[in-house]
Structure 1
């Protein structure tokens, strides 16, 4: 197992180094005129960037001192997002580069032809007037030397400067696109999640529970970047929707209670008629699940640890995240759902969408999940689709419906691209109403 991990780490580092070398070559070497201050500065950026990125990841997972995590998180994780979009933009620029070079060479050739002087017409001199060659002492004659041949410069004769121009245009456009994308995506996260509303009809839901509203909050990811201020934005947004119940479906934190307890404190102000409920996500088990379960209890949230409670009109159940299996605390669907009255509607809180298959086997009517972030950074949604049955939104699996939230926060880079953060208000509808 250790050997596999080491090999995977070496492959990842090799890919990381190769990608950065490629970017350095296109954005630094090809856009500068030899060694100089500009090239040295660019090289320093492409060396420091990956070092900070790896350091941010290592310090977070190794639970390094929190001040160090916060120091490295912003530059390291933002570089992670930036290098992704630099790669995408520079690769796209490879298509544009030869076309732009051709245009530049054609314009240069046209300008050269327009600037060249027209040749003067040749004047024929009568043969009688031409001077005769003087005889040499040995009696031979020396013919006149022909004028030197003049050949026009080929269209690409100024190749180095034209290549530099093309590299600067393509590289500048790629850098601008990447920086703009990351800036906009980061602003979207820091601004706070928007509210999304979804109506879900349930066949077993009684008329008395028609219109019951559940605020689904997932993947807040409080940590070195998203702190107390962000938690307060989430709380304000949830309370503004006036839900009947609040479901926090995992990945609340990335760090210990000691470091993030103050950041999570605003969650005590969540308000709903039937309370706020919590299930673990995989990141809780990276951060100390037991201590966080106790902490959310002190904040007024009710953990559902492979458990179920009866609410007016339906059952609310929750299962632990799959990551809990590493600590002997994995999901137990039989414990949570095995002895329930299957004539009642059941809503299940489960962090990962892949748990839907067990939910179907246990006659769950609706599963509420998160985990995917909707891909977070496009084209990450394509990767997420390989590992999850549903990446975002509402889908049906037999008689069971699955709703996956994109999440309120972000992991790693505080950035989202084409996967906006949300808090979803799920309104349950009775078909008997």
Structure 2
């Protein structure tokens, strides 16, 4: 089944990229040449860099090599998605544009035909004045049909050496391809700037029935999916820290996917996290990417940076319990979530906030009478229409929803995985303000 799945994926990628090359390069040129070859190299080379970046990251290649491949490879991934979407959208515009040009040309020809003088009738018996017409050999230049094929023979230069005008079909193909390329580059450029500029701040009020009046207004800064790695480094971490500290939270919750790499490679990038400041401290739970990078070493590293890891553990704060469980990816290493250990013996009359990386963990939270679960993982879809795929795999993609007596808040995350780009899912740091229904 795995082999069949891989064959299907490869086949889809090959067909999609052939279609992309055809619309962007073959259909916009008169004949085979350097531009078509350059297009094939661009598309093939882009995918080679993208696959190389993914393999290098997973295989733990030298960090300099990861960084060299990551920027062009991951950006190509994002660009290819939106090039394909834009070209497919162009199929709707293509016949409309061609029809518009045909009508415009017909309107231009109509007045010209109306201005041609008609011959006056000759009276009966009058001598004929008809001029003698001599036949000349037909011209070697045939008129260009609007739907003439884009072949070298159909669009070759005239004998005089002057190139013919492109056919209507060639003109339409160039317009559609140019618009698609501009739209894709603009979309990816804007989405990349949004990530590199740092996350915004989102504020959400969450009422908790069990929260005492004294806890009303308690603020938790929730940050997830920072994804420090070959692309997002120390400068980005500093922006995240400065944004969190500017909100002056009572508590900071880092809910997984902090890094994509080892402590050896990314320790300096994560160093600014030592500057996090909150009255009740900063807490951390693992995400699935920590288990790709070496979860144990990162748990120890965040502890050295001043954060408190909650590995299937709970702490009692003055007005509620704060618990954390490991990510489900830890199950393969015998370090998966243990809800009984984290929540089993608690006082259920107290409000409880659970830190769990993946939204799917909400079902266990409901079983253990958790009042609020804080999660990330989905990135809000990151690249539209990725939100549709995220919705198929997660109960909540982003925002606040209720499941029975338990509420779930899912952050879109501060960073990005793979392409440092977001479209339709801006990054955020969320300040959760707890509200007591008794206040």
TM-score (norm 1): 0.92
1:305 match: 311
1:135 match: none
Match of 1:65 among 59, 62, 65: 62
After superposition, residues 23-422 of structure 1 pair within 5 angstroms as 23-115=20-112, 118=116, 120-121=118-119, 124=122, 129=127, 156=146, 161-422=167-428
Greater Cα shift, 355-364 or 15-24: 15-24
Q: 1:33 to 1:159 in 2, by over 3 A?
A: closer
* Shift, 1:9, TM fit: 2.6
Contact 2:147–2:169 (8 Å) recurs in 1 = no
Larger Rg: 1
Contact 1:109–1:155 (8 Å) recurs in 2 = no
SS in 2 for 1:201: strand
Q: 1:311 to 1:110 in 2, by over 3 A?
A: same
Contact 2:302–2:309 (8 Å) recurs in 1 = yes
Greater Cα shift, 170-179 or 118-127: 118-127
* Shift, 1:109, TM fit: 2.8
Greater Cα shift, 370-379 or 39-48: 39-48
Q: How many residues align?
A: 417
**How far apart in 1 are the matches of 2:41 and 2:111?**
44
Q: 1:146 to 1:86 in 2, by over 3 A?
A: same
SS in 1 for 2:27: helix
Q: After the TM superposition, list the runs of 4 or more consecutive aligned residues in structure 1 that deviate by more than 6 angstroms.
A: 144-150, 152-155
SS in 2 for 1:214: strand
SS in 2 for 1:31: coil
Match of 2:11 among 4, 11, 14: 14
Q: 1:118 to 1:401 in 2, by over 3 A?
A: same
SS in 2 for 1:205: coil
Contact 2:192–2:420 (8 Å) recurs in 1 = yes
TM-score (norm 2): 0.90
**How far apart in 2 are the matches of 1:228 and 1:153?**
63
Q: Deviations over 1:370-390 (max 9, x none)?
A: 000001011111111111111
Q: Deviations over 1:25-72 (max 9, x none)?
A: 001101112123322322221121111111111111111111111001
Gaps of 5+ in 1: 132-143
Q: 1:325 to 1:123 in 2, by over 3 A?
A: same
SS in 1 for 2:103: helix
Q: Deviations over 1:63-87 (max 9, x none)?
A: 1111111001111111111111111
Contact 1:106–1:155 (8 Å) recurs in 2 = no
**How far apart in 2 are the matches of 1:333 and 1:220?**
25
Contact 2:218–2:250 (8 Å) recurs in 1 = yes
**How far apart in 2 are the matches of 1:35 and 1:382?**
39
**How far apart in 1 are the matches of 2:3 and 2:56?**
18
**How far apart in 2 are the matches of 1:59 and 1:8?**
23
SS in 2 for 1:215: strand
Contact 2:311–2:325 (8 Å) recurs in 1 = yes
SS in 2 for 1:344: coil
**How far apart in 1 are the matches of 2:368 and 2:273?**
32
Q: 1:426 to 1:14 in 2, by over 3 A?
A: same
CA-based RMSD of the aligned residues comes to 2.2
**How far apart in 1 are the matches of 2:8 and 2:90?**
26
Contact 1:108–1:155 (8 Å) recurs in 2 = no
